[in-house]
Chain A
Amino acid sequence: MGLLPDEAKVLPPPGIVNRNSVWFGLCGWATAMLHNSLNRRPALKAGVHRQALFITVGWFIGYHLTKFENYKYATLDRDMSEYIRLHPEEFPEKALKTFAEIVEPFHPIR
């Protein structure tokens, strides 16, 4: 973990197939196909090595981005929970009403 601190290792790592990886992989593939098109080559059948490399780079960046995203959201959740724990007066338990108390009396007109 390059830019993640040590505490981030407590979090469950994302799977190899994850949202950001798939998206960045597809973006890389689209880039390779665009490169083919702009150089007047058949988009899908030319430069397969380039397509593979771009997909892989995108997938790799996506995996690390997912890890970073998980860590950021985890720190936000931790700070929020800690704030709620330290300021209970701002989060009173609401008295729950049953439906019997809220609903008006029913007078059937048949």
Chain B
Amino acid sequence: MPLGRLFLRTSTVNKMVSRNSFIASKPDPSKPNMLRVGLAFGSTAVLWALLFKQHSTDVHEYKTRNGLE
């Protein structure tokens, strides 16, 4: 049995999640919220850029402090 099927009970049992009934709608997978998707991919790219920049700064600092360059 696929592992996902084992978790199906949870969303029926957990009633704590609630939304405003005037504007709530079923989430529609065929119409993605492009703003949210764009923000997610954008922040992914920003984080990777930050990581690579931090890494190159660290390597440069290490080399200068130990007189290797």
Contact = CB atoms under 8 A, between A and B. Distances in A.
Interface of A: 9-13, 16, 34, 36-43, 46, 49-50, 52-53, 56-57, 59-60, 63, 67
Interface string B36-64: 11001101100110111011001101100
B44 A59 contact: no
Contact of A37 (B3, B43, B54): B3
Interface of B is mostly: helix
Contacts of B36: 49
Contact of A43 (B3, B37, B47): B3
Contact of B11 (A10, A38, A46, A67): A38
Contacts of B54: 63
Contacts of A56: 43-44, 47-48
B29 to A, nearest CB: 7
A104 B4 CA distance: 67
B29 A12 contact: no
List 5 tightest A-B contacts by C-beta distance, closest first: A13-B58, A49-B40, A37-B4, A37-B7, A9-B61
A53 B51 contact: no
Given A9-B61, A46-B29, A52-B44, A16 B4 contact: no
